[in-house]
Structure 1
Amino acid sequence: MSDAYLALEDGRVIEARGRVPGHTRGELVFTTAYTGYEESLTDPSYEEQVLTFSYPLIGNYGVRDERFESSRVHPRAAIAREFTDEVVDWLASESVPAIDHLDTREIVTSVRDQGAMKCGIAVGDDATPADAKAELKKCKGMSEHVDIGTQVSTAEPQFFPGDDGGSEATVALIDCGAKGSITDSLVARGANVHLLPYDASAADVEATDADVLFISNGPGDPENFTQAQVLVEQFVGELPIAGICLGQQVVANALGGATEKMTFGHRGVNQPVRDLETNRVVMTTQNHGYTVADPGDLDVTQVNVNDDTAEGLESDELNVITRQYHPEANPGPHDSLGFFDDVLAMVDAETKVALAD
């Protein structure tokens, strides 16, 4: 074990037990999920953040790579009341600093009350509070990276053939930091998925002969994903368009709307969402720090029960459907998996219209 210090933007320095050495910094956020630590740690939406787990024991069912959502750990550091040795070994193998034996309840309530804040972390046998403060000082002068997409997106196009007996639609999935489960959910329904870089051009999309344009989840400010927004502007009215999480925000910005940063975001697996047409409430998995403040040309069809933020946007006229939460879950409830069927149903509807014409 080694010394560890967490320096917070509010001036506090918290002492902890060091589990994986290193010095780093980032935006301090928390997740309320009881399970799914493997999925959370490999979720690209946590890029450049320091992830605090509110559940006190992380690692109680081991580490299995088949549950990973990407090829690596994305948070810059991990914090828990207690990490098991197996999780520590995994984080150490990826050189991700980790600390525990501190009051995570206090951290969570601080973020809840004050908002997501910058932090600095120093872990090591010779670590000092001054080291953590130095990391925080570096962080304070940083803005969110406008090129963060380069850190989470596929470098080259990838193709995933759909399972037999499904829709056979072709999806151009713009990878702004896509979770693997999104691709899996589409493939399981028979869709052929072309995973394209976050800065793909219109020509790249056209080359796939896509039936639908799908904007994925991803980290940070949706305004940083300008090319994905351009694609939505170019293809709206020509192709059905779908989006998840950051994808919803990108689509809204492209269609006359606006987004804003939330106080501390939604991160967990028990966010209640109400459908405005049916009045049905479902529990959802979420991980985002921005939200749609103005839907623009789209209609708000679902809202968060806790704070009334937009959870679903749609337009029958424009053939657009988006969700702020993660219908594919992993971890979390599968109440909303039908979203992927709704997306592919838009493709079938387009085909029927074309045949009728």
Structure 2
Amino acid sequence: MKGKLILEDGSVFTGDLLNEYKATGEVVFNTGMTGYQEILTDPSYCSQIVTLTFPLIGNYGVADKFMQSRESFVNGFIIGELCDEGSNWQKENELAKFLNDQKIPCLYNVDTRAVTRTIRSQGCMKGIIVSEDASQEEIDKLMAVPIKLDVVAEVTTPETYVMDNDGPHVVVMDFGIKQNILNSLHNLGCKLTVVPADTKADEIMAMNPDGIFLSNGPGDPKDVPEVIEEVKKLIGKKPMFGICLGHQLISLALGANTYKLKFGHRGSNQPVKNLLNGRVHISSQNHGYAVEEASLKELPLEITHINVNDGTVEGMRHTSLPLFSVQYHPEASPGPDDNMYLFDQFWTLLTGETKGE
């Protein structure tokens, strides 16, 4: 069946529909060469239509071990060539079956280079996936569907759960956390108590944690002011580490500002400079918002990392409290392992010991 992606500015891109599902959402692109299942199941993509720039998708199939959440929260998938039969010793199924089982609208055989160039030029915008013969009435109806704002509430864990261990106790505020971040913290030796995003500060402190972790997640950080208020109450009480949305929430809680990027940073090949030692790391990223550098100047925060491509803030630390955060994803699944040292830094804040000693 033939279908098309229609962007808010009137641009149209044609292709083939894998299924009959329709989609409305913000259209974004990811430049990673691998990790399509991790992208599809990363809650940070909630309500978005994801375009992959790498031309061949599905070539190594799918497997349960690569799932990053309980289900996929993406609204649609735009790709070039859809591989019919993947080849990988870990493969359990084909990508096409996964997309159908998850009820994800997929348009393939699309000129994804053209889609990406449009988004880079015009910025991220709303789009819809429909069949080629969709009526104008159907198109107008889908395009009128608003972009969801309550996305953190949709992806957070519905109930508290524990990943037991012998090390320090960390309460994880789940705003849409990737499983591989949890695995990285657990492999470090931490006992994890993962709590819903709306958990109050006094409830967290009653759990007697050694540290607090603020996770990644979808959407505009300013859409969850109630979470920001609870983070304010937690700052300075225990060592704190934030990633992606967690990084933005910390900055807002301390009085800084965030803003929307033109087309965001999404991919496993983003260069980040560590200002503390001058090293450049290659990182995995997925965010559409950033912390405004100018808003940090009067605050007790030091910028520790910047994006080499556009100079945006990628990391910061408090000048007196045991608190730091990064905009990118240090866990290397998929992506490089350049930034795993950040988990070791958190361990040091928790225990006073260098990991491995």
Q: Does 1:308 align with 2:316?
A: no
CA-to-partner distance for each residue in 1:21-66, whole Å, 9 max, x for gaps?
Answer: 1112000000000000010100000000000010011100111110
**Residues 65, 132 of structure 1: alpha-carbon distance in 2 compared, 3 angstrom cutoff:** farther
Residue in structure 2 matching 1:151, options 142, 154, 162: 154
CA-to-partner distance for each residue in 1:285-328, whole Å, 9 max, x for gaps?
Answer: 00000000033431111100011101111014121110100001
Q: In the alignment, which residue of structure 2 is the partner of 1:325?
A: 328
Alignment RMSD? 1.6
Q: In the alignment, which residue of structure 2 is the partner of 1:90?
A: 98
Describe the SS at the equivalent of 2:306. Answer: strand
CA-to-partner distance for each residue in 1:56-94, whole Å, 9 max, x for gaps?
Answer: 111001111101111211210101011224211111011
Q: In the alignment, which residue of structure 2 is the partner of 1:13?
A: 12
Q: In the alignment, which residue of structure 2 is the partner of 1:134?
A: 140
2 CA distance for matches of 1:232 and 1:241? Answer: 10
Does the aligned pair in 2 maintain the 1:121–1:135 contact within 8 Å?
Answer: no
Post-superposition shift, 1:269? 0.5
Describe the SS at the equivalent of 1:326. Answer: coil
* Amino acid aligned to 2:121: D
Does the aligned pair in 1 maintain the 2:8–2:143 contact within 8 Å?
Answer: no
Q: In the alignment, which residue of structure 2 is the partner of 1:348?
A: 351
Post-superposition shift, 1:203? 2.7
Q: In the alignment, which residue of structure 1 is the partner of 2:226?
A: 227
Aligned length: 340
Q: In the alignment, which residue of structure 2 is the partner of 1:201?
A: 200
1 CA distance for matches of 2:309 and 2:141? Answer: 35
Post-superposition shift, 1:282? 0.3
* Amino acid aligned to 2:3: A
2 CA distance for matches of 1:331 and 1:206? Answer: 33
Does the aligned pair in 2 maintain the 1:314–1:320 contact within 8 Å?
Answer: yes
Does the aligned pair in 1 maintain the 2:269–2:284 contact within 8 Å?
Answer: yes
**Residues 53, 198 of structure 1: alpha-carbon distance in 2 compared, 3 angstrom cutoff:** same
Percent identity for Structure 1 against Structure 2: 38
User: Which stretches in structure 1 are left out of the alignment for 5+ residues?
Assistant: 351-357
Post-superposition shift, 1:278? 0.8
Describe the SS at the equivalent of 1:22. Answer: coil
Q: In the alignment, which residue of structure 1 is the partner of 2:239?
A: 240
Does the aligned pair in 2 maintain the 1:176–1:225 contact within 8 Å?
Answer: no
Does the aligned pair in 2 maintain the 1:230–1:254 contact within 8 Å?
Answer: yes
Does the aligned pair in 2 maintain the 1:215–1:244 contact within 8 Å?
Answer: yes
Counterpart mapping for 1:72-221 below 5 A:
72-85=71-84, 86-123=94-131, 127-128=133-134, 130=136, 133-139=139-145, 142-145=146-149, 147-162=150-165, 168-221=167-220
User: Which stretches in structure 2 are left out of the alignment for 5+ residues?
Assistant: 85-93
Q: Tell me the TM-score normalised to structure 1 length.
A: 0.92
* Amino acid aligned to 1:259: T
Does the aligned pair in 1 maintain the 2:152–2:219 contact within 8 Å?
Answer: no
Post-superposition shift, 1:130? 2.8
**Residues 23, 69 of structure 1: alpha-carbon distance in 2 compared, 3 angstrom cutoff:** same
Does the aligned pair in 2 maintain the 1:258–1:292 contact within 8 Å?
Answer: yes
Does the aligned pair in 2 maintain the 1:120–1:132 contact within 8 Å?
Answer: no
Describe the SS at the equivalent of 1:317. Answer: coil
Worse overlay, 228-237 or 253-262 = 228-237
Post-superposition shift, 1:101? 1.1
Post-superposition shift, 1:211? 1.1
Post-superposition shift, 1:13? 2.4
